[in-house]
Amino acid sequence: MASVTSPSGKSYAGGPSAVPAPALLTRPESFPLAEGSRPVPAVATLSPMKWLGVSGGLGTLALLVFVACLGFGTETISFANVTALLAQGPFAAGETQAAPHYIILWQVRVPRVLLAFMVGGSLAAVGASLQALLRNPLADPYVIGISSGAALGAAVAVLFGIGLSILGLSVLPFYAFLGALLALLIVYRIAVSYGSFSIHTLLLGGVVLNAIFSALILFLTTLADPYKASGMYAWLMGSLTGPDFPTVLVLAVYLLLGVAVLVSQASALNLLTLGEEAARSLGVEVERVKRVLFAAAALLTGSVVAFSGLIGFVGLIVPHAVRLVFGADHRLLLIASGMIGGIFLMLADTVARTLLSPTEIPVGVVTALVGGPVFLYLLVRQRRRVVA
Amino acid sequence: MSEYPETPTWQPPFVMDAVTFGFDRKETAVQTPVLKNVSLTIESGEVLGILGPNGSGKSTLLKVLMRILIPQQGRIELFGQSHVAFPQAEISRRVAFVPQETQQAFPFTISEMVLMGRYPHHNRTWGLGWEGSRDRAVAMQAMRDMDVAHLGVRLITNLSGGERQRAVIARALAQEPEILLLDEPTAFLDLHHQLEIARIIRRLNRERGLTVVLVSHDLNLASQYCDRLLLLREGEIVVMGSPEEVIAGESLERVYGCPVLVDRHPQSGRPRVTLPV
């Protein structure tokens, strides 16, 4: 047994600031394992194998749905034709380049379905993170007013035309980010002001916040000229219409960054579901993690809203379904929600643009019609559980 | 024998020196403190019970020790080193905290919940923080110690109060702590489960040398199972000492503001409190 020469702590009594961050290396093995200790069975927890399997499977499924959705629209393209045209790549030369199906596929549908996947995935990942952060299974960026905040930020920028682009890049997401961040901080403040996080307080706060932001947006819209205003209304209802490739690529950078940050905090999110005090007692630097999560959630919501307006309920129903099937561990929940959220919105958008073709339904209408009833069902069930 | 040198026994787990804490903003917090000038030493291997009426600062004292709350004044030493200098995870590797209530809105399994106790031991510089085989072994033993191993695949949302409390203590044990802080571990439990939890805590203390600090409203349970008791009133220590000194003395009546009858437990001879008719 090694000996310890001096009680190291006593040598510096000069107050906290004088103490270098110590590492307690003199740690005894206070918890010796018994002979033949068995590990926790993998079946009860998330294992790396399961993570890989589910992520890979859902990724493949997303790819299949992506290709399938490309075929539908005002002009139907057969599956074989879609794969053949996809195989030629975006920069095909000569005759194929001028073929109508090639143009429809590469210039219209690929960017649009890609946008739907990214928007749906981001909303679902943000929803799952907000639910953990606010310890509320009904949190969703749309329901609790974060999306409206982002929309207000973007609307202010558009209607007053302030600094809309820097170096040719749209800075709309930046204003939407600021709006989302503001809304998130207000919602969080409402949530914590009741001591423990109450599900209904948060929803009520979200409803009021939504009403205020919507009123402000409508007020600003009436100030604007009619042409701008009608575009604004279409955008507010949630629309994935007409993105071009550069736009989608810029958005992809923002969204990948945001989702990567959320996933990097997955274990901390697991612990945050226990409450901030418990998370802190388990070694989570709660304040730092919260700042990172706020920033990432605002970035994702802001970018998504700036590009596609208000699309609701994806962030609510998708994580809920994923939890039921794959468990609550955020390391898988965020990835799986992202994939399934993307799949869900690709399908919803396909319905939106084919159901009344050639007229398009705003995709936000489709998600609200699917997600709204699910939300109400969950709300009633939640209440029953509290009563029981 | 372990490869680590022993923690010097002359370094008590906790020393609090004139600690003052208030919930308000900085300037006024010191004027309306929840903890007032608290100084105490927690000895290695003891079971210390913290008693006091509602709002006397018992839970706050635990949270200050866990550094969930940071005092405005005073100094806390953990094994002889200043509390404020540690990263949170370093504290969590040595001290575990069992909160009064655990609510969980999401369907984690018991195994996942207990494995969360391994968080402070993970290296999270990159990757998702997968649990290694040692993490799983430690968690499994903690679950067996708390008799929840058979519940491993059940969801935390579907457990009874007693099972959930045992699972939360298992999570605390999975941290491999040297000090266990418990906030009313037997509140909301029926008699059978109260006794069970109290005995388990006692056993962990005796067999593993775990230092235990527990907050309780149950004077008799505290008297039975604690080596020392501390009586708080309005954030100040009224008396600290053996159960005989604290329970049998007149300070109890003074603090709670009502007359009490004190006799002896028929088996242990420890002081026992009942209310007069």
Task: Kindly provide the ipTM of the predicted complex, given to two decimals.
Answer: 0.90
Q: What is the pLDDT of residues B31-77, one digit of tens each?
A: 778 999 999 999 999 999 999 998 899 999 999 999 999 898 899 99
In a domain, B7, yes or no: no
| Nearest-by-CA chain A residue for B178 | A30
Q: Is the pLDDT of residue A196 over 60?
A: no
Look at the alpha carbons of A33, A37, A43, A47 in this order and tell me if their dihedral is positive or negative: positive
Rounded distance between C-alpha atoms, residue A253 and residue A135, angstroms: 29
Contacts of A34 (CB under 8 A, 6+ apart): B141
If you average pLDDT over every residue of chain A, what do you get? Answer: 82
In a domain, B35, yes or no: yes
Q: Is the pLDDT of residue B184 over 80?
A: yes
* Cβ under 8 Å to A: B residues 17-46: none
Q: How are beta strands B211-215 and B95-98 bridged, if at all?
A: unpaired
Sheet of strand B14-21: strand arrangement: B35-42, B14-21, B73-78, B81-82
In a domain, A7, yes or no: no
Number of C-beta neighbours around residue A264 at 10 A: 17
Are A179 and A153 in contact by the 8 Å Cβ rule? The answer is yes
Which residues in chain B touch residue A316, judged by CB atoms under 8 angstroms apart? none
* Cβ under 8 Å to B: A residues 24-63: 24-34, 37-41, 43-48, 51
Please give the share of chain B, as a percent, with pLDDT higher than 70. Answer: 93
* Least confident stretch, A13-22, A33-42, A320-329: A13-22
DSSP structure class, residue A34: P
Residue B187's domain comprises 14-274
pLDDT band at A102 (very low <50, low <70, confident <90, very high): confident
Residue contact A16–B82, C-beta within 8 A: yes
Which residues in chain B touch residue A4, judged by CB atoms under 8 angstroms apart? 5-6, 8
Are B153 and B109 in contact by the 8 Å Cβ rule? The answer is yes
pLDDT at A43: 67
Please give the share of chain A, as a percent, with pLDDT higher than 70. Answer: 82
pLDDT at A37: 60
Tell me the mean pLDDT in the region A24-28: 43
Number of domains in chain B: 1
Residue A113's domain comprises 48-387
Are A344 and A363 in contact by the 8 Å Cβ rule? The answer is no
Q: Is the pLDDT of residue A197 over 80?
A: no
Residue contact B7–A48, C-beta within 8 A: no
pLDDT band at A271 (very low <50, low <70, confident <90, very high): very high
Residue B254 CA, chain-centre distance (Å), reads 25
Q: Scanning the structure block, which residue is given the tokens 């999975």? A: B174
- HSE-CB of B227 using CA atoms within 13 angstroms: 15
Where residue A376 sits, what CATH number does that domain have? 1.10.3470.10
Q: What is the pLDDT of residues B105-152, one digit of tens each?
A: 888 999 999 999 999 998 766 667 888 888 899 999 999 888 888 888
In a domain, A117, yes or no: yes
Which residues in chain B touch residue A283, judged by CB atoms under 8 angstroms apart? 87-93, 119-120
Q: Is the pLDDT of residue A301 over 90?
A: yes
pLDDT at A129: 96
In a domain, A28, yes or no: no
pLDDT at A117: 96
Rounded distance between C-alpha atoms, residue A128 and residue B244, angstroms: 53
pLDDT at B29: 61
Instruction: Decide if B230 touches A, using CB distance below 8 A.
Output: no
Q: Mean pLDDT highest for which of A186-190, A354-358, B71-75?
A: B71-75
In a domain, B27, yes or no: yes
Q: What is the pLDDT of residues A378-387, one digit of tens each?
A: 877 765 544 3
In a domain, B97, yes or no: yes
Rounded distance between C-alpha atoms, residue A5 and residue A9, angstroms: 12
Q: Is the pLDDT of residue A30 over 50?
A: no
Tell me the mean pLDDT in the region A303-320: 90
pLDDT at A159: 76
Q: Scanning the structure block, which residue is given the tokens 């992809």? A: A252
Q: Calculate ∠ Cα B211-A275-A299, nearest 5°.
A: 135
Rounded distance between C-alpha atoms, residue A268 and residue A279, angstroms: 8
Rounded distance between C-alpha atoms, residue A11 and residue A18, angstroms: 11
In a domain, B6, yes or no: no
Q: What is the pLDDT of residues A201-233, one digit of tens each?
A: 778 888 899 999 999 988 888 887 777 777 777
In a domain, B102, yes or no: yes
Q: Is the pLDDT of residue A65 over 90?
A: yes
Q: Is the pLDDT of residue A8 over 50?
A: no
Of B63, B92, B152, the CB nearest to A283: B92
Number of domains in chain A: 1
In a domain, B231, yes or no: yes
Tell me the mean pLDDT in the region A283-305: 93
SS3 A195: coil
In a domain, B2, yes or no: no
Please give the share of chain B, as a percent, with pLDDT higher than 90. Answer: 45
Where residue B145 sits, what CATH number does that domain have? 3.40.50.300
Rounded distance between C-alpha atoms, residue A110 and residue A86, angstroms: 9
Q: Scanning the structure block, which residue is given the tokens 């290695």? A: B44
Q: Is the pLDDT of residue A13 over 70?
A: no
